[in-house]
Amino acid sequence: MDRLQSLEVFIAVAEAESFAGGARAMGLSAPSATRGVNALEDRLGARLFTRTTRRVRLTDVGQAYLEDARHVLAQLQAADDAATGAALTPVGQLRITCSTEFGRIYVAPILTDFLDTYPGVSADVLLVDRIVNVVEEGFDVAVRIGPLPASGLSAVRVGQVRRIVCAAPEYLRKHGIPNTPADLGAHQIVAAAPVSATAEWRFGDTAQTSVRVTPRLKVSSVAAAIDIARQGWGLVRVLSYQVGPDLEDGSLHEVLQDHAPEPLPIHLVHVEGRRAPAKVRAFIDFARDRLRSHKVLR
């Protein structure tokens, strides 16, 4: 097994957390994958994995080496793409990550149209409500909602959303409209994780006003929380894009608008900057224009 294949096997085993799983991903036998990683460790003089009978885990050295190995293979792929013309023509697999609801409502329709436009591209999308490390986990593009920390990644702003509190008209008729954040203590609250899992809701232009709420109901699904509010059970705090159609057709009414916190920016984050592969540059351009056209994201 040559050095390049050893790197590919190492990455596959690390991602699968299993020699057997990594071997299957590479189309190899488990003993071949084990020999490849062993040879790599012998050459480096360092242990990359801690092995148990059930799974394998990266050591600290292995975790650092994984990021470097992915970067090396990405650079090699970029060189191959440039030589074959793929640097100019979008081809290959595009890996994207974004939050569950935003991905369902906005990214999925954009992505299917993008794939129809570029037949040489395939896509793998991770919809998850956590911050994914784009570099370490091998993603090309991430949709980020909220302020961005300092990093070496490139970012394109495509819109903004607001945290809002809303309820069905029937609920507000029955229980009254809260006029200040302090009034929330007298209302039924449904908490939608991860949007409002915290017991403190912040309000105001600088988000300095905070109110401790006691939800009577907590659900792990934002869509389920919105459904419950839509049926007139209580107040819910969500991101504005998640209830755009409901606000337009009157199914839900926003309250406490005068106390709303600052909007949260939306960015498309990607690696490599201008040297990104054509598939990444093409998707950024395609998604940027489509997302900016949505009224609810302005």
Residue 210 C-beta-side C-alpha neighbours within 13 Å: 7
At 131 the pLDDT is: 86
CATH of domain 92-160+264-297: 3.40.190.10
Q: Which residues contact 159 (CB under 8 A, 6 or more apart)?
A: 265, 266, 291, 292, 294, 297, 298
At 75 the pLDDT is: 79
At 74 the pLDDT is: 80
How many whole angstroms separate alpha carbon 226 and alpha carbon 215? 14
Q: Which residues contact 238 (CB under 8 A, 6 or more apart)?
A: 163, 164, 166, 192, 195, 196, 222, 225, 226
Residue 177 DSSP class: -
Tell the residue number behind the tokens 């409002």, with chain if given: 196
CA 92 to chain CA mean position, Å: 21
The domain locations on the chain are 3-83, 92-160+264-297, 163-259
Other CB atoms within 10 Å distance of the CB of residue 67: 14
pTM over 0.85? The answer is no
CB 18 within 8 A of CB 56: yes
Please tell me if the domain spanning 92-160+264-297 has the same topology as the one spanning 163-259: yes
CB 237 within 8 A of CB 188: no
At CA 156, angle to CA 65 and CA 93, rounded to 5? Answer: 50
Choose the CATH number for 163-259 among 1.25.40.420, 3.40.190.10, 3.40.50.12780, 3.30.300.20. 3.40.190.10
At CA 108, angle to CA 97 and CA 274, rounded to 5? Answer: 55
pLDDT < 70 positions in the chain = 1, 81-87, 194-198, 205-208, 273-274
Choose the CATH number for 3-83 among 3.40.50.280, 3.40.50.20, 1.10.10.10, 3.10.20.30. 1.10.10.10
CB 7 within 8 A of CB 40: yes
Q: Which residues contact 212 (CB under 8 A, 6 or more apart)?
A: 199, 200
